[in-house]
Amino acid sequence: MRNNVKMLLALAGLVAMTACQQGRTSGGGDDADSVAVVVHDTVPLPSVAQASVGDLDYKVFHIDTVNSGKLRDYDNQYLNAPGQLTFRGDLLRNANFGGTIDTVPSRVVEDWMFKTRFDTSPTPLGVWGGGTGWTAQPLYIHWPDSLVALFKREPAAALTPDFGPEEIMVASLCGDVCFINYATGKASREPLDAGNPTKGTMMLDPSLNGNLYVGQGVPRVSEIGHEAFNLHTRERTMFLPRDPMALRHWYGTDSSPLIVGGFLFWCSENGLIYKYLIQPDGTPTLHTVLRYTVKGDGAAAGVESSPCVYKNYCFIGDNHGDVLCINLDTMEPLWHYDNVDDIDASPVCEVVQGTPYVYFTCEVDRQGNTGMSHIVKLNGMNGQPVWHVTIPCNKLNMGGKHFDGGVYSTPLLGGGDCENLIFTNVCQRDNTHHAEFTAFDKSTGQIVYRTPLKYFAWTSPVAFYRPNGEMYIFTGDSSGNAYLIRGKTGEILFTEHMVNNFESSPVVIGNTLVVGSRGQEIYRFHIE
C-alpha cells in the first residue's frame, strides 16, 4: 500500500508541474490529470555582487554541507499548478489569478459564508478571536482525480462528507487551518490545529506531495515559529521556533514561503532567511541560513512581507525598509537598497525582455506620526531605481491603538487596457482616516489617478478581465466596504458595506473571489 501511495504522490507531483494553465484559473475547469511536456529553465542570472552589498554585515550558515545548494532548475512551478497555492499566486507575486467576467460589472454578490471557531484565549497581544487577519489569502486547489481517490481512502485525512475536488484552505486567527468546499462553503475536512493564531498566507507545495506550510503569528499556548503539516496523515512534519542564530527575538512568520528548484525558502521576523532542502519523501530539512544587518542600523530587522523570485534572484523587503536581492543558489546578497521605512506589502516582480523589475512600497512607521510612503521601481539586476515616488501619509490613532500610514496592500500589475498601470491602496494621506486607491504609470511612476475609499485599506486589490481586455478591480476597506473599480479611469462602479472588515487579501477563481474577515467569517462572492 505504501508503494502505491508513493507512486500516486509522484504522479501528482508530475501533474502539478505540467498541467495546462487553464486548469488553474477556473473553478470546475479541465481535470488536472492531463500531462504536457515541460522544458526546464536551468540558466541562472549572473552572481555579481553590487557595491551596495557593502552596506551589509552578513553571514551564511551552511547547515547541510553534504548536499549542494544549487537549485535543480528555476521553474515557476506555481504557474502550472491546478490552483492558487501561495500568496498572490506564484513566484513573481503578480496576482495573475485569471479572473474573468463577461460584461461590465455592476455588483458583488455573496455566494456563501463559512464561520471559523472563535478563540477567547488571552495572549500577550490580546484576544484574537477568529476569522482572518492580514494577509491570510485563502489557497484554492482543484485536486487531481488520483489524489481525490487517495484522500478518500485515508482515514487520517479527516475528510467530511462535503469534501470535493475543489478546496479552499485558509489559516485563521483562532489557531485553526480551515478547509472549505469551494462549491458549497461547507467544511471539507476537520480543521487542523496550527497551535497559535496565524495571520499570514500559507503555502501548499506545488508538487502536491501533501505538504502545507503555515507561519504562526502570535504566541498563545506555545512558542511561535513556522511549521509544515502532511495533509495525508495530519502530522506536523516540521517546526522551527526559537533559533539561537537569530539576532532579533520575535519568531512570528507572516511571510508566505516559496519552493524553487527543490528547495523551500522562508523569511522570518527573527531576521533570518531560511533555505530548506526538500527530501525525496517530501520532508524539508534545513540547508542554509542567511543572517544580515545593515551597518549603522543598530539592530536586526525582520521580514513580514512575502518575497518574490525570478530565476535564482530573490527580492526581500524588511521592517526597517531594507530591500535585498539574494542569489538563491548561494544565499549570498547581491545588492541592497534603502527604502526608508517598514515594508509590509510584498514586492511584485515584472519581467520585461528578460530583465526583472521589482516594485516596493513602505509605511509611515519608524518615521513617526507623519512621513512619506516611498513607492519605487527597481531594476532587479542591480538595485538601481527606475523611478521613486513619495506620498505624505500619517499614522491613525484610534481606540488606544495606532495604524501606520502608507501602503500595506501588495500592488496589482495592470493588464489588458491597463497594461501601463500598477495599482495599490495608500492609507491616510493628508491627515485623513481613509485610503486612496491609486494608479501609477509603470514607466514613469506618475500618479494617474486617486480614488478615495471610505476607510483605510490593507487588503490587496485583485483583477477581473472582460474578453475585450477591459480590466476591473475589486478591493475592500477595513470597515468592510467592497468596491468595484474601472481600472482605466478609477471610476467606482459599485460600493456596499458587506463584511466586518476587509483586512485579508482575496484569491480569485473565475468570476468569484474568496476572502476572510475579522470575527469568524470567510466569504465567497461572485461578480455580476
The answer to whether 486 and 463 are in contact (CB under 8 A) is: no
pLDDT of the residue at 2: 38
In three-state secondary structure terms, 237 is: strand
Rounded Cα distance between 378 and 325, Å, is 11
Read off the DSSP letter of residue 506: P
In three-state secondary structure terms, 153 is: helix
Rounded Cα distance between 216 and 253, Å, is 6
Instruction: Read off the pLDDT of residues 110-135 as tens digits, 9 standing for 90 and up.
Output: 999 999 999 999 998 899 999 999 99
Backbone angles phi, psi at 421, to 5 degrees: -120, 160
Kindly indicate the confidence band of residue 39, based on its pLDDT and cuts at 50, 70 and 90.
confident
Report the predicted TM-score, pTM, of the whole model to 2 decimal places.
0.93
CA terminus-to-terminus distance, the chain: 47
Q: How far is CA 95 from CA 20, 46, 89, 422, in A?
A: 18, 27, 5, 12
- 173: which residues sit within 8 A by CB, 6+ positions away? 116, 119, 128, 129, 130, 131, 132, 133, 197, 198, 199, 518
Q: Domain range holding 208?
A: 2-527
Domain count within the chain: 1
Kindly indicate the confidence band of residue 15, based on its pLDDT and cuts at 50, 70 and 90.
very low
- Burial of 281 per CB tally in 10 Å (0-12, 13-18, 19+): exposed
Mean pLDDT of the chain: 93
Query: How is residue 167 written as a grid cell?
Result: 478546496
For residue 183, the one-letter residue type is A
Instruction: Read off the pLDDT of residues 187-208 as tens digits, 9 standing for 90 and up.
Output: 999 999 999 999 999 999 999 9
> Residue 314 is part of a domain; what is its CATH number?
2.130.10.10
Checking if the pLDDT of 253 tops 60, the result is yes
Kindly indicate the confidence band of residue 29, based on its pLDDT and cuts at 50, 70 and 90.
very low
What are the DSSP calls for 277-316, one per residue? EE-TTS-EEEEEEEEEEETTS-S-----SPPEEETTEEEE
pLDDT of the residue at 292: 98
Mean pLDDT of 331-349: 98
Read off the DSSP letter of residue 2: H
Rounded Cα distance between 362 and 438, Å, is 14
Checking if the pLDDT of 25 tops 80, the result is no
